[in-house]
Amino acid sequence: MKPLPECQLYAFVDTAYLRGRAPRIVAQQLCEGGADLIQLRAKQSPPEVVRRLAEEILPVTQRAGIALVINDHLSVALEVGAEFCHLGQEDFFGAGYTHISQLAPPSPAAGSRTEQSSARRLRVGIGLSSAAPEQAARAMAAGADYLGVGPVYPTGTKPTAKPVTLEYVRWAAANIPIPWFAIGGINLRNLDDVLAAGAQRICVVSAILNDDDLTTACRRFKDRLPSKAR
């Protein structure tokens, strides 16, 4: 599995953009196209459906050595053995959490060092969204493994969200020391502007999933990214 800091292209199996394609096939094509991370996003589906989809996709990503991210549903990520779970600010802080250590499964004997270590091993990596410097600072203090920075541009995946613009991308490049991914409305026409603002890692949803050839679409983005992320 590629270490998170080396991951640059974050792709999606988003049920809103499947267009009749099987999730397993979409995941396979994204892997072949050079995706470094793949998120399963099924906003309108109940947990049991998300779990079924994750169980279908996970063997594909594991064979390719690519980490699977479950959007929103931490319980599903833990149950199926996904490597990461991504949460929005409202899903994490709005639910009363202040640190990702609170997400670890409870240990039956809190004072036992062995059992505490076991609980930590069960924790999946956690990504948190951010749309402003104060949200990024709060997410880093909470121990997030990576941050989403956006939406940079208007996006159909979050039509009511106000774009953070390249100004926030520049701020992120100067102030966020952990891995972060620019997200939201990124396509091949504006990619150079996003990279020039300091992004080295990107999330791409519709600009890949709306293409008939997912593998080639994915590769076009991957080939435009810096040769090595810091």
Residues in the chain with pLDDT values less than 50:
110-122
Q: What's the pLDDT score for residue 108?
A: 53
Residue 141 lies in a domain: yes
Q: What's the pLDDT score for residue 27?
A: 98
Taking CA atoms, 156 is separated from 89, 177, 185, in Å, by 19, 29, 8
Residue 158 domain boundaries: 4-224
Residue 121 lies in a domain: yes
Q: What's the pLDDT score for residue 110?
A: 47
Q: What's the pLDDT score for residue 117?
A: 40
Residue 185 lies in a domain: yes
148 backbone dihedrals φ, ψ, rounded to 5°: -95, 135
To 10 degrees, the CA torsion angle through 131, 137, 143, 148?
20
Q: What is the pTM of this model?
A: 0.91
Number of domains in the chain: 1
Assign residue 106 the CATH number of its domain. Answer: 3.20.20.70
Residue 230 lies in a domain: no
